[in-house]
Chains A and B, each alone.
Chain A
C-alpha cells in the first residue's frame, strides 16, 4: 500500500513534466506541404527576420540568425540582448545563401517570416527540415501568435510558447481594463516612406497590437489600402486619412525629417490637440518585430505615451514627440 502511495506520489510529482514534454517526431503542415521534425533539434537556424527573438524567449539560442535592419553588432535588438547572453550566432545577411546554411549543418531551419520561395524551400529541405509560413498566409503576414506557437512546436516547447503568448494577452487585457477610455477610439500608425506619407491598415501586425488594446484603425485607411494590403499611401497634400484619436508616427532615420517637413501636419487636429506619438527607431522596431520578447517591451514603452496623447490636451506633452521636435 505504502509502495502504491509512493508510486502515485511519484507519478503526481512528474506528471506536469509528462504533460509538458512534447513528443517528437512532430509534423507541421504549411503552405508548401508538411515538414516532419524527427527529434528535438539542437542546431537551430532562424531565417525569419525576427525569428531569433522567439527562440531566445524559449531559451533556445539559434546557431545562426537573420539580419533585418539596424546597426546592432549581433543583429539582435535591445529587448533580446540579455537572453542572447554572450553567444554570438552567425549573422546571415542579405539574400538567403543556401551554401552558407548547408555549411552550418543545422537540425532545423525556421523560415516562417523569411519570404522564402517554394524553390528555396525545396533546396533548404535537402539540408534539414524547413518550416515556412503556414498555409493561408502571404509572405510576412503570418500573425505573431502563430509564429510564436509554431516556434515552440519546432523546439518541443509549444506549451511554454503558449504561456508566453497568454502572458501578453493577459497584459493587453489588463491594459484594456485599466483604460476604459481607450475602447473604440481610433489609432493610426503613420510612416513616411520614399516620398509620401502613409499608414498601416488593420491587417498589419502593428495595428493589430493596438486593436488588442481596444483601438480601431480609421476606416479610410483600410479603404485606401494598396495591393499588398498592409499599408496605404497618402499624399502630403491631404493628411486627413491619418487623423485619429492617437496618431503614432514611425520615424526612422531620415524619415523624421520628412515627417517634420509635412506642411499640412501642423494643420491636423491630431497635431493641434497633442495626440501625436513619435515612435523612435527602437519602439517602432519592437512593434514591427512582433515577437515574444519585443511585444512586452513595446507595450510598456507605448502605454505612458498613449496616456499622454489620447487626452486631447496639448498641455500634457508626449515626451517622445517633444524630443523628436514634432510636438505642438
Chain B
C-alpha cells in the first residue's frame, strides 16, 4: 500500500498553474497567520482591544496592566505557538515523507515517549519542578529515544527501511510508555507536576519562557537546516528508491539527515511546550491539500499552517471555559481529531 498524498499528480501536472496557486495558497496562509497572531495577542481572560494591542507593541507603557498582559504574557505565548507550530509541522512533513506513511508523526520516532519518560525521571529522581528544567530533560529524552529507534530499525540489515523504522518506533514507544506508567504509579506526589506538563502548554514557562525559547533556538535552527538539505533528496525518494539513486541521491543519507531534522525540531518543540500531539500529523496533510506533495512546499506551507492551527487551538482553550483555561495540548487533540476526519475524507490511498 503506497500512500501518495491527497492528489494523484498527473505527469504533466499543469506545472505553471500549480506554481501560481501554490504561491496564492502560501500568501493566504500568511494572511491567516497574521490574523491568528493578532488574535492571540488580543484574546484571553482579559479582553484587550486591537488598538490597545497595537499600542502596547508600538508604545509600551508598563504601568498599564493591559500592556503588561500583551507584552509579558501573550507575546511570549504567541511566539512559542509560532515556533512550536512551525517546528511540529515541518517535522511531521519530514517523517511522513521518510516513512512514506501518511499516518506517521514525530511521535513514531519515540520523541514524545522519550520526552515524557525523561520528564518523569527528572521530576521523580531529580526533583525537577519548573517546566523549563523539565523541558531540557525532555529534549535529552527525545534525542535518546530517536537514537534508540534508529539503532533498532537498522538491526534487520536493510538500513533505513521505512517499515523497520515504524516498527522500531512502536517498540521503543511501548517500552518507554510502560516504564513511564510504572514510575507514575509509584510516585503519586510527583504526578501533578507531570500531569500539567504532559498536556502541553504554550505558557508553562511563565516568566522564564522567553529565555527558554531563546535557549532552544539552536535546536530549531539545526532542524531547519537539516530539513532544507533533505528536501531535494526526499522529493527524489518519493519517486522510488531506484529512480532516486539514478538521480544521484543516497537514500540512507537523505533519510538520516531528515530524521535528525525531525528529532531536533520535534524535540525542541516538546521541550518548549510539552508533548503536543496531532499537529505533526495534521499540519502536513493540510499543507498538502493546498500545495501538493513537493516536500519543500509542504514544509513551507506547513510552517505557516502549523502555527495557525496550534494558536487557534490555544485561543479557543483560553475562552472555551469562560473562566480558567483548557491547555493547548488538550484543545489540539480535540480539534485535531475533527480536522483529521476532514483530511481522511480527502485522502487517497492506492493499493498497488
Enumerate chain A interface residues (CB-CB to B < 8 A).
Answer: 69, 93-95, 193-196, 224, 226, 233, 235-238, 253-255, 257-258, 260-264, 267
Query: Does the CB pair A235–B46 fall under 8 Å?
Result: yes
A-B contacts, 9 of them at CB < 8 A, read: A94-B188, A95-B188, A194-B195, A235-B46, A236-B45, A236-B203, A257-B206, A261-B206, A264-B69
Q: With the chains together, A233 CA to B318 CA distance in Å?
A: 13
- B208 lies within 8 A of A235 (CB): no
B72: which A residues are within 8 A, CB to CB? 263
B196 close to A (CB within 8 Å): yes
A263 touches B129 (CB 8 A): no
Given contacts A94-B185, A254-B129, A255-B129, 18 further A-B contacts (CB under 8 A): A94-B186, A194-B192, A194-B195, A194-B196, A196-B325, A233-B323, A236-B206, A237-B45, A237-B69, A253-B129, A257-B129, A257-B130, A258-B206, A260-B207, A262-B206, A263-B68, A263-B72, A264-B68
B65 touches A226 (CB 8 A): no
- Binding site secondary structure of chain B: helix
Known: A258-B206, A264-B68. A233 touches B189 (CB 8 A): no
Known contacts A226-B324, A235-B45, A267-B65; A261/B208 CB under 8 A: yes
A224, A236, A258, A261: residue with the most chain B Cβ atoms closer than 10 Å: A236
A-chain residues with CB within 8 Å of residue B324 when the two chains form the complex: 196, 226, 233, 235
B201 contacts chain A at the CB level, 8 A cutoff: yes
The answer to the question of B204 belonging to the interface, with a C-beta cut-off of 8 Å to chain A, is yes
Binary per-residue interface labels of chain B (314-330) against chain A in the complex, 1 for a CB within 8 Å, 0 otherwise: 00000000011101000
Contact of A261 among B188, B196, B207 (CB under 8 A): B207
Q: Which residues of chain B are near A196, meaning CB under 8 Å?
A: 324-325
* CB–CB B44/A235 < 8 A: yes
A residues within 8 A CB of B74?
A: 237
Whole-angstrom CA separation of A210 from B212 in the bound complex: 39
Assembled-state Cα–Cα distance A196/B206 (Å):
10
Name the distance in Å between A92's Cβ and chain B's nearest Cβ: 12
B73 within 8 Å of A (CB atoms): yes
Query: A238 to chain B: which residues have CB within 8 Å?
Result: 45-46
- Chain A residues with CB under 8 Å of B201's CB are 195
A48 to chain B: closest CB distance in Å? 16
Q: How far is the CA of A194 from the CA of B193 in the complex (A)?
A: 7
Nearest Cβ on chain A to B119's Cβ, whole angstroms: 13
**Top 10 A-B residue pairs of the complex, sorted by shortest distance between their CB atoms:** A254-B129, A261-B207, A235-B45, A263-B72, A261-B206, A194-B196, A237-B45, A233-B324, A237-B46, A254-B130
* Interchain CA distance A235-B46 in the complex, whole Å: 9
Q: How far is the CA of A235 from the CA of B206 in the complex (A)?
A: 12
Q: Name the CB-closest residue of A to B187.
A: A94
Q: How far is the CA of A264 from the CA of B62 in the complex (A)?
A: 10
Nearest CB of B to A300, in Å: 28
> For residue B196, which residue of chain A has the nearest CB?
A194
Find chain A residues with CB under 8 A from B327 CB: 195
* Contact assessment for A237 and B206 in the assembled complex, using a CB-CB cutoff below 8 Å: no
Chain B residues within an 8 Å CB radius of A233: 323-324
A residues within 8 A CB of B186? 94
**Cα distance, A261 to B129, chains bound together (Å):** 14
CB of B207 within 8 A of CB of A235, answer no
Q: Is the CB of A235 within 8 A of B325?
A: yes
Inter-chain contacts of A194 with B (CB < 8 A): 192, 195-196
CA distance in complex: A33, B157 (Å) = 67
Least distance between A264 CB and chain B CB atoms (Å): 6
CB contacts (< 8 Å) of B204 on chain A: these are 195
Residues of A within 8 A of B185 (CB): 94
* Residues of chain B contacted by A95 (CB below 8 angstroms): 188
A260-B130 Cα distance, complex, nearest whole Å: 13
**Cβ of A195: which chain B residues have Cβ within 8 Å of it?**
131, 196, 201, 203-204, 206, 327
Kindly report which residue of chain B lies nearest to residue A252, judged by CB atoms.
Answer: B129
Contact present for A236 and B73 (CB under 8 Å):
yes
Nearest CB of chain B from residue A144's CB, rounded to whole Å: 23
- A267:B203 contact, CB within 8 angstroms: no
CA distance A260 to B193 in the complex (A): 18
A253 to B123, CA, bound (A): 12
Cβ contacts under 8 Å, B69 to chain A: 237, 263-264
A236 to B129, CA, bound (A): 19
**A263:B189 contact, CB within 8 angstroms:** no
CB contacts (< 8 Å) of B195 on chain A: these are 194
A198: nearest chain-B partner, CB-CB: B324
The smallest C-beta distance from B66 to any residue of chain A, in angstroms, reads: 9
Complex contacts, A267 vs chain B, CB 8 Å: 63, 65, 68
Q: In the assembly, what is the distance between CA of A288 and CA of B203, in Å?
A: 28
CB within 8 Å of A: which of B154-202?
185-186, 188-189, 192-193, 195-196, 201
In the assembled complex, the Cα of A264 lies from the Cα of B70 at a distance in Å of: 11
Q: How far is the CA of A237 from the CA of B44 in the complex (A)?
A: 8
Given the complex, which residues of B lie within 8 Å of A263, measured CB to CB? 68-69, 72-73, 207
- B48 CB to closest chain A CB (Å) equals 9
* Residues of the B chain whose Cβ atoms lie less than 8 Å from the Cβ of A258: 206
Q: What residue in chain B is nearest A266 (Cβ atoms)?
A: B68
User: Which chain B residue lies CB-closest to A94?
Assistant: B188
Cβ < 8 Å to A, chain B residues 39-79: 44-46, 63, 65, 68-69, 72-74
Q: Specify which of A95, A254, A260, A264 lies most central, judged by the most chain B CB atoms within 10 Å of its CB.
A: A254
Distance (Å) between the CB of B74 and the closest chain A CB?
A: 8
Q: CA A327 – CA B100 in complex, angstroms?
A: 57
Taking CB as reference atom, which chain B residue is nearest A70?
B189
Give the docked Cα–Cα distance between A308 and B220 (Å): 49
CA distance A267 to B66 in the complex (A): 11
Distance, CA A94 to CA B183, complexed state (A): 12
